[in-house]
Structure 1
């Protein structure tokens, strides 16, 4: 590979401001880059449904041997603060001045994809079709992946089912294959207003309703495969008014849908008991943010890619992870994803950095796999 080109491309990309919902400039950069390499490009305009400004980019490098092909995927958006990023090269690491994130999540993944494509073209290697999917708004609920209009994607541009997602933090050799489903919930408690100093007994305090319910909820680690967390508790009243409204939000995530739903049912039961005790009422809303990601081939794809690492002398680790990604959304359409490490560390913080040695290993592993 051309290591200098890899670093220069990465630095050029992180300097482009591309937070969730505002990836347009970066998407235009990538479209031009892919077209310059000679790939066919198709743009999905799903962003029109959720108020974004950048398409999901589908691209295809036609193969020269017969096969089902492979898909390389990553996302374009970066978490804030990500404006005016000033990347610093410090030995084998690229970092920031600690006033912004770096954007290695996931521009390191995209840098790996671009260099891999360039290597395949320049070396005139034998390979099957290589498909590329670059999504916007992954960090904001995977909105790009969720809103793809698959009916409009040309049949010859439908990506291959085996998908390598270059979006795992940590070193090369880490291969995530299973990730949980996530449900968000919102509980609205309604009480009764009264003057807190004159006749508080005539009121029903919605904050008290929430407090009683929450105290009966099992929050945190539910079991080996299930976790939960409260995000917000909101009620805004002066202290001389018995609050009649309190809204609580949170999440439950896990690898077992049965366990997730059991937990949510237990939370709803706690709310019912709170209302039975004090009066008032509540509403309980839940929504599946993303489904589970599970291998469809008994880990055959993950083990096949791990062999590439082993041949390179890199120890591998097959992972079950606790976070979600576009892979969870693609899983609903039958995609068999692995999520590989690319060398990014301390992601989503101003201490984020990228280990270029691991980035180079990732690129080599992709090249070896695609030309095996």
Structure 2
């Protein structure tokens, strides 16, 4: 019963086209689903801040057991191209025909959550308060989670700060509890124009200066918890002009914010070796995620997986997700896998057996009978 219902819900959602910022139909599906379970719904209508068309959905299913409860999170948007999806099923492996993405990221996570909650409610299983938080725009910089109006949310609903995020790539055997902060940097080097063929000695080639700077910058793997990368260099001038501007951009990720600050200071000191005419701009793409209770919440989730025969392990990851922004708000987040592989590509596929294992583990975690 669980298996069939899990696959049915998953397929229904896969067939709803929901690219980032265009997720209203998907949001309506989720709202209707949760309302049919008797959930109290609050919609955070912050999508206008980034041009989206669907809210962050907060739902509460009141429990009959005292306790702090738990929050469950997944996102509604998928990576393009995804329109006109054709699902290919080979036993437990579901994929597209490779002309589109599948959308298992993150509809598999959402299907696991909705199936588990529905099972708990329909079978009248005792449980603490269950909160479901469904976000839009995750694939374009966690737009939904980033822009939540928390002050307004707390006036209507106060979700549990223990949060399970069903959005980890890979099998259902990893429970991620730590992820880095990510800072983007943009460095503009300004030189001096001159005719490159007649009087080049009067010019200062901004590309040449930038290349010297980049060659000295610590990049790639800095240490076990820090990485850095330059991804784009831009300077567009005719061949006969010494370029007077060059811009290069990149990112720094680290599990410790102070290491990001140290690298940025080092980068600026390198720039100053070669020029005083520059600008450095930085922006936090997302904050860091870490366990707030010495992994006790993670251990409880691992124990729930053990009840369905999965030997799960705590995991440190190198990417960002909605969990990072929830962590900034004080949530104690853990990210679980649902069997999605080769995500963000048209070769994406999902092992439905892994999704079903996570669904059953969630049911066991939620159940207080």
TM-score clears 0.5 = yes
| Offset from partner CA, 1:255-302 (integer Å, 9 cap, x none) | 1112111111111112111216xxxx1101112221111111000000
1:246 equivalent in alignment to 2:267: no
Per the alignment, residue 324 of structure 2 pairs with: 328
* TM-score, normalised with respect to structure 2: 0.97
| Offset from partner CA, 1:305-334 (integer Å, 9 cap, x none) | 111222322111110110111111111121
- Name the stretch that deviates more: 43-52 or 148-157: 148-157
Unaligned segments of structure 1, at least 5 residues: none
The residue correspondences of 1:282-301 to structure 2 (distance < 5 A) are 282-301=278-297
1:143 equivalent in alignment to 2:139: no
Partner Cα separation in structure 1 for residue 199 and residue 332 of structure 2: 62
Per the alignment, residue 6 of structure 1 pairs with: 6
Partner Cα separation in structure 1 for residue 32 and residue 179 of structure 2: 33
Aligned CA-pair RMSD: 1.3
The residue correspondences of 1:227-266 to structure 2 (distance < 5 A) are 227-266=227-266
Shift of the alpha carbon at 1:155?
A: 4.0
SS in 2 for 1:139: helix
The residue correspondences of 1:37-76 to structure 2 (distance < 5 A) are 37-76=37-76
Per the alignment, residue 361 of structure 2 pairs with: 365
Per the alignment, residue 339 of structure 1 pairs with: 335
Shift of the alpha carbon at 1:173?
A: 2.3
1:169 equivalent in alignment to 2:169: yes
Shift of the alpha carbon at 1:110?
A: 0.4
Cα contact 2:184–2:284 (8 A) shared by 1: yes
Shift of the alpha carbon at 1:97?
A: 0.7
Per the alignment, residue 160 of structure 2 pairs with: 160
Cα contact 2:42–2:156 (8 A) shared by 1: no
Shift of the alpha carbon at 1:156?
A: 5.3
Partner Cα separation in structure 2 for residue 196 and residue 31 of structure 1: 63
| Offset from partner CA, 1:235-273 (integer Å, 9 cap, x none) | 111111111111111000011112111111111112111
SS in 2 for 1:34: helix
SS in 2 for 1:240: coil
Partner Cα separation in structure 2 for residue 282 and residue 22 of structure 1: 39
Partner Cα separation in structure 1 for residue 242 and residue 28 of structure 2: 54
SS in 1 for 2:324: helix
Shift of the alpha carbon at 1:51?
A: 1.4
Partner Cα separation in structure 2 for residue 94 and residue 70 of structure 1: 30
Partner Cα separation in structure 2 for residue 2 and residue 175 of structure 1: 22
Per the alignment, residue 305 of structure 1 pairs with: 301
Partner Cα separation in structure 1 for residue 19 and residue 209 of structure 2: 38
Partner Cα separation in structure 2 for residue 155 and residue 116 of structure 1: 27
Per the alignment, residue 316 of structure 1 pairs with: 312
Per the alignment, residue 130 of structure 2 pairs with: 130
* TM-score, normalised with respect to structure 1: 0.96
| Offset from partner CA, 1:55-111 (integer Å, 9 cap, x none) | 101111111111111000011111122222211111111101111111111110000
Partner Cα separation in structure 2 for residue 40 and residue 165 of structure 1: 20
Partner Cα separation in structure 2 for residue 306 and residue 62 of structure 1: 25
Partner Cα separation in structure 2 for residue 11 and residue 243 of structure 1: 54
Shift of the alpha carbon at 1:2?
A: 3.0
> How many residues matched?
368
Shift of the alpha carbon at 1:201?
A: 1.4
| Offset from partner CA, 1:26-69 (integer Å, 9 cap, x none) | 11222122222221211111111111111101111111111111
Shift of the alpha carbon at 1:5?
A: 2.5
Shift of the alpha carbon at 1:3?
A: 2.0
SS in 1 for 2:138: coil
Partner Cα separation in structure 2 for residue 208 and residue 79 of structure 1: 38
